[in-house]
Amino acid sequence: MNNDKKRGSEGLHSRDGHYPESGRVAIDSLDVKDLRDLIDELHVHKIELEAARAKSENDRRLLLAVMEALPVGVAITDANGGSVLSNNAYEQIWAGPRPLPRSIDEYSSYKAWWPDSGATVAPEEWASAIAVRKGETTVGQLMRIQRFDGIQAFVINSASPVRDADGNIIGCAVAIQDITDLKMAEEALRENELKASALINAAGESIWMFGLDGKILAANAVAARRVGRVPEEIIGGYWMDLIPPELVEPRAQRVAEVVRTGEPVHFEDTRAGMFLDHSIYPVRDRAGNITSVALFSIDVTMHKMAEAELIQSREDLNRAQEVGSIGSWRLDVRGNVLVWSDENHRIFGIPKGAPLTYETFLACVHPDDREYVDTNWKAALNGKPYDIEHRLLVDGRCKWVREKAYLEIDDDGTLIGGFGITQDITKRKEAEEELQKAHNELEVRVRQRTEELATTVEALLGEIANREKAEKILIEETLERARAEEVLREKEQMLLMQNRHAAMGEMIGNIAHQWRQPLNTLGLITQRLGAFYGSPSFNKELLETSVSKSMEIINHMSRTIDDFRNFFSNEREKSEFRVNDALLKALSLVEANFKDSGIKIIHNEMDDISIYGFPNEYAQVLLNIFINAKDAINERKIESPCLTVSVSNENGRSVVTIADNAGGIPENIIEKIFDPYFTTKGPQQGTGVGLFMSKTIIEKNMGGRLLVRNSDTGAEFRIEV
């Protein structure tokens, strides 16, 4: 507007070329022609002025359109730095409404800081202030500002002075761009790079990065240490120079496969007695092209060794189950999934790999026993003991088995399922039937022979002449009876073996029970290694601690198998042994079972006594008495149950007393408990030969005495040898 006025006044002039001081022409001093010329000239200038105004308005609208089209904030100031125009992007950056400064001094209402120093940006330091005061163009001021909605942002601020035709500064143009997202991305990238570097260096295993030409781009300290170097020595070299020559070609083929397929490759190799687990991954650029590969190598030597020992332990357990005809099983009641050991598959005649459920098992049970088995299992799920004998039908053949189970409960008290054993007792049952049949036959034959003998004696009284014949018959009868007694002794020996097998079944259950916690612990250690792998917590110390704990558990389980094998080894000759050793051996086999039943064992080990005899049979006698005491305590649900074992020396003989607090043995049967086939447990739980064989071992085989009496609290067995 001021320029238009100036231009218009230029046209106002007199002939002598002077402008009137008032800006007006004295009409009374002009003639008509001059007045007409003046009017024409004024008209022309009016038209020019209107055209200039129209052009100025068009230019202003064009400027506004251009400013609005720009993706960055743009503003125009006057010569004092006051705000004149700004586009919408500029207003959005400052998140108005904002105060419109009229001068540079009023810039103090705009809060900004220099990112590097944190110092506040002074009014005179703004690019627009420098442009209007110094006439200098400032590009790329990086600032941290606080918008007028309270949110802070990062911006790049620039300004350039605007001059008139005479070169005078009449204002400036300001450009401001919000780079908050870019700045945050840069900081996140920098932080991620630092984290990645820290993770790589903190990893307990080897991490490499190779170029496609084999050049080593990066390696952590563990990787360098495994080749006897430090990272600075190997970065920039080639991986082919650091590994044995025979491994170069196979490794190169793996790398080529990753580059060709774009998929990771996993493999293992052995080097200097070390098992290494390798994974190679492709590394891509933004365009998706593979530019390098990353190699992760984990030392799994200890894991491999532990795995081999665990496999060996499982094989030993399977062999032990096969020898004892005792299988194991686990039923998950939540999913109705049944898992059998190899021996259990053999007993039931079902091949491995076949899907197993509770119904699969029940279908194998003899039809006459199914209801009995199902009722007992359902009762066991409600907390009652599950220790039964029943029949199976396997390929049309009837088998007898004994089953015993323990319930498995999770930490929340929820029932998971059951774990138990299956013992093939078919031979024992057949032996019992044969023994009973032999007894019956012997009774019949003895009765018959007795009648015949009576007849013969009667005939001898009447017929002296037939005496010689009668004596011969008597001799034959005597020999037959001796043979029958020999058969009876053989049957008794078979009973001894059956009793040992029954004890073996009990012990397999105890061992399985003792192994449950170690196996769970091994599972948790393995899961923890998988869960922690790749996290900052996965380090060498964690790995070594986990491996050490696993080996300790495995060794303990192996010792359990050795104890079991030694306990049931056959003894042909007597030997001298310590009573306390045999006692501790028997206690170790039942300790876990007693602990689960809440039975306290009090061991009064007083004298160190050695005796001469069969140590394993002696320990079996102790085991039979321990098991009978436990069964009595559990059956009668004794509060604060305990078993007291004492060792002493009386008159040169070893004396072991075993006393429980189960209330004692009824007086009407206490004299019968050592008789063969006498039991109070019922046909499904007891054979009645345990105490009979125990008395036979102590008194016949070792020349001692086995006695029992009732104390104030329960039964007390006394073994003298």
Confidence class for position 226, pLDDT limits 50, 70, 90: confident
Angle formed by the axes of helices 467-532 and 426-462, to 10°?
Answer: 170
Model confidence pLDDT, tens digit, residues 378-413 = 999 988 999 999 999 999 899 999 999 988 888 888
Q: Average pLDDT for residues 61-87, to the nearest whole number?
A: 86
The rounded mean pLDDT for the chain is 83
Model confidence pLDDT, tens digit, residues 557-599 = 665 665 555 555 555 688 999 999 889 888 888 888 888 889 9
Judge whether 589 and 559 are in contact, CB under 8 Å: no
**Predicted pLDDT at 15:** 33
For the ranges 7-21, 446-460, 525-539, the lowest mean pLDDT is seen at: 7-21
Which residues, 6+ apart, have CB-to-CB distance to 244 below 8 Å?
A: 271
Nearest to 377 by CA among 357, 394, 393: 357
Largest CA distance in the chain: 206
Q: Average pLDDT for residues 89-107, to the nearest whole number?
A: 91
Strands 169-178 and 73-78: antiparallel
**Predicted pLDDT at 203:** 65
**Predicted pLDDT at 394:** 92
**Predicted pLDDT at 505:** 57
**Predicted pLDDT at 312:** 76
How far is CA 659 from its chain centroid?
Answer: 45
Model confidence pLDDT, tens digit, residues 630-666 = 989 999 999 999 999 999 998 889 999 999 999 999 9
**Predicted pLDDT at 243:** 87
Q: With the C-alpha atoms ordered 196, 199, 202, 205, is the resulting torsion angle positive or negative?
A: negative
What distance in Å separates the CA atoms of residue 541 and residue 545, rounded to the nearest whole number?
Answer: 6
Model confidence pLDDT, tens digit, residues 38-49 = 788 887 877 878
**Predicted pLDDT at 23:** 44
Judge whether 529 and 543 are in contact, CB under 8 Å: yes
**Predicted pLDDT at 560:** 61
Q: Average pLDDT for residues 210-228, to the nearest whole number?
A: 90
**Predicted pLDDT at 263:** 94
Q: Is the predicted pLDDT of residue 436 greater than 60, yes or no?
A: yes
Confidence class for position 606, pLDDT limits 50, 70, 90: low
Confidence class for position 93, pLDDT limits 50, 70, 90: very high
**Predicted pLDDT at 564:** 55
In 390-539, where does DSSP find H-type helix? 426-462, 467-532
What distance in Å separates the CA atoms of residue 314 and residue 306, rounded to the nearest whole number?
Answer: 12
Identify the residue whose tokens are 């400052």.
Answer: 94
Q: Is the predicted pLDDT of residue 5 greater than 50, yes or no?
A: no
What distance in Å separates the CA atoms of residue 418 and residue 250, rounded to the nearest whole number?
Answer: 49
Model confidence pLDDT, tens digit, residues 19-40 = 344 444 455 555 777 777 878 8
DSSP class of 430: H
What are the b/e assignments for 596-633, b being 16+ CB within 10 Å? eeebeeeeeeeeebebebbbbbbbbbbbbbbbbbbbbb
Instruction: For residue 418, list its beta bridge partners.
Output: 331, 407
**Predicted pLDDT at 297:** 87
For the chain, percent of residues with pLDDT exceeding 90: 41
> Left if phi > 0, otherwise alpha if psi is -120 to 50, otherwise beta: which for 336?
left
Model confidence pLDDT, tens digit, residues 451-487 = 888 888 788 788 877 777 777 887 888 778 767 666 6
**Predicted pLDDT at 241:** 92
What distance in Å separates the CA atoms of residue 632 and residue 640, rounded to the nearest whole number?
Answer: 14
Judge whether 241 and 216 are in contact, CB under 8 Å: no
Number of H-type helices and E-type strands within the chain: 18, 23
Between residues 272 and 76, which one has the greater pLDDT?
76
Confidence class for position 690, pLDDT limits 50, 70, 90: confident
Residue 339 backbone dihedrals phi, psi, to 5 degrees: -120, 130
Q: Average pLDDT for residues 514-520, to the nearest whole number?
A: 65
**Predicted pLDDT at 152:** 94
Instruction: For residue 403, list its beta bridge partners.
Output: 388, 422
**Predicted pLDDT at 640:** 92
Nearest to 125 by CA among 115, 117, 113: 113
Judge whether 390 and 369 are in contact, CB under 8 Å: yes
What distance in Å separates the CA atoms of residue 270 and residue 389, rounded to the nearest whole number?
Answer: 52
| Count of residues in the chain | 721
Model confidence pLDDT, tens digit, residues 243-284 = 888 889 998 999 999 999 999 999 888 776 778 889 999 999
Q: Average pLDDT for residues 499-518, to the nearest whole number?
A: 58
Q: With the C-alpha atoms ordered 45, 47, 51, 53, is the resulting torsion angle positive or negative?
A: positive
Q: Average pLDDT for residues 303-324, to the nearest whole number?
A: 73
Model confidence pLDDT, tens digit, residues 127-175 = 999 999 999 999 999 999 999 999 999 999 999 999 999 999 999 999 9
Q: Is the predicted pLDDT of residue 509 greater than 70, yes or no?
A: no
Which residues, 6+ apart, have CB-to-CB distance to 208 below 8 Å?
A: 216, 218, 219, 223, 239, 294, 295, 296, 297
